[in-house]
Structure 1
Amino acid sequence: MIPKIQLTKENLFKIVLRFGLLAIGGLLDGLGVAMQIKANWGPDPMSLFYDGIHQFFGITTGQAYNVVVFTFIALAIVINFRQLGFGTVIVPFFVKIGIDQGLNLMTFELSRVMNLVLLAAGIIVLALGVATIVVADMGKGAFDAFVLGVMDRLNTKYYKVRRPIDLIFLVGGIMMGGTFSATTVIIAFIIGPVISFAIDFFKKVVGNRLELSFVHDQDMAI
């Protein structure tokens, strides 16, 4: 029997809270990308790719993000649509706002050292955003949905799918004029563990507080 969500006040509150976390997580995710790009030290490979598309096609970085995300959503549908969820489609709009508005607001100029601090802060903010989206548990991100779908199809490890894609992002971003430096390579190795730590921390803090209660058809029949 397919379980159904109980329409209780507690469940409705948790659903609204999850939507709120999706929005906050998306905005933080986008702001983290904007901070890395503004720092001008060379962002992570994926952000480098967004910046490259922005430079090459003359669209905003947020629009470039949406192009990449919806491409991965389309690919994930073909590979394994079960990896997708409501959040997969909704989050990109908030991330786009976070990127574009973040870059619009950060018109200040910083020293080279302070830009490095901004880069580090951007990585942390990005990790917090991703962790918040994961804790909301309303669907995997477009990129992860694609990677996990390929993993299932090929019966392989996450990093064996992720690394070639990061390499494509890295090379493609550089060829299109994105800002690149040695820190991009360093970030490629550290951003995964930072995000994993943030996710584990948030999960411990939230625990089962956002879990919804379900009712099964057989329970309704009693």
Structure 2
Amino acid sequence: MCKSIRTVWLLFGNLAAGLGVALCTKAGMGVDPVSALYDGVHKIIGLEMGTASFVVNMLILVVCTLLNRKYLKWGTFLSMLSFAVSLNTFVGLVSPFTVEPYTVSGYLLFLAGMFLAGAGFSTVVFQDLGPNCADILLEVLKDKAGISMKYAKICVDLCCTVLGFLMGGAVGLGTVLCVCGMGHIYNRVFCIWQQAVSENGGGKRNAFTEESFRAGSDG
């Protein structure tokens, strides 16, 4: 695919991811570890959740760029900005609705949100226009600490979950479900993308995209 089409898909992926995280938040059962950190910062500082995600990602980006800037691309900043706008928009749209956590409707809303978030994030990663800040952090941690991408992801997830919880972020059963299940959604959507591109004469994505993706699919 040409870069302009991949840019559109990146924006669409972040739109889906923003809606997914907003739905998970509304379900009141917890969100994925990184979003739990966003939610914690949102509650501590008083920023909108999407704005909090942008602030957190900017801090991560600055630190990672100082340590190793080889994975930094323009798509990283575009992804950060479009996800923040999407998340703010959808959190505002769903806020008037009431859903009881841990009810049938709560579980259905959460599962729909987890699917959208997983599919959206996978779509963004596949476009290979620039890794998101979490993936850059994983790569830098892998290089500096000398550990595998899988264990780097476990460390990042644990840190985000603990920090999010301490700041009052949305940590609960849904967080566990995201850790266990979202990687499989990444996997399925990523494979669909790879098959579609291969059938149209495209090649595989770079090694960083493949490895960081596999770390995510390990949950």
TM-score where L is the length of structure 1: 0.83
- Counterpart of 2:191, as a letter, is D
- Counterpart of 1:110, as a letter, is V
1:28 corresponds to 2:16: yes
Aligned counterparts, 1:59-98, within 5 A: 59-98=47-86
Structure 1 counterpart of 2:177: 186
Aligned counterparts, 1:156-171, within 5 A: 156-171=147-162
Q: Is the 8 A contact 1:45 1:170 kept in 2?
A: yes
1:48 corresponds to 2:36: yes
Structure 2 counterpart of 1:218: none
Residues 151-174 of structure 1 deviation map (CA, whole Å, 9 limit, x = unaligned): 133332112111122111111111
Residues 89-111 of structure 1 deviation map (CA, whole Å, 9 limit, x = unaligned): 11111101111111111122235
The CA distance in 1 between the partners of 2:175 and 2:68, in whole Å, is: 30
- Counterpart of 1:109, as a letter, is T
The CA distance in 2 between the partners of 1:109 and 1:151, in whole Å, is: 42
Higher relative contact order (CA 8 A, sep 6+): 1
**Structure 1 ranges of 4+ moved more than 3 A:** 208-212
Structure 2 counterpart of 1:135: 126
Q: Percent of aligned pairs with the same residue?
A: 26
Structure 1 SS opposite 2:2: helix
Structure 1 unmatched runs, 5+: 1-12, 213-222
The CA distance in 1 between the partners of 2:60 and 2:201, in whole Å, is: 28
Number of residue pairs the alignment of both structures matches: 200
Give 1:209 deviation, angstroms: 4.4
Q: Which has the larger radius of gyration?
A: 1
Residues 81-126 of structure 1 deviation map (CA, whole Å, 9 limit, x = unaligned): 1112121111111101111111111122235311211111111111
- Larger deviation: 14-23 or 153-162? 153-162
1:133–1:208 CA distance, 2 compared to 1 (3 A): farther
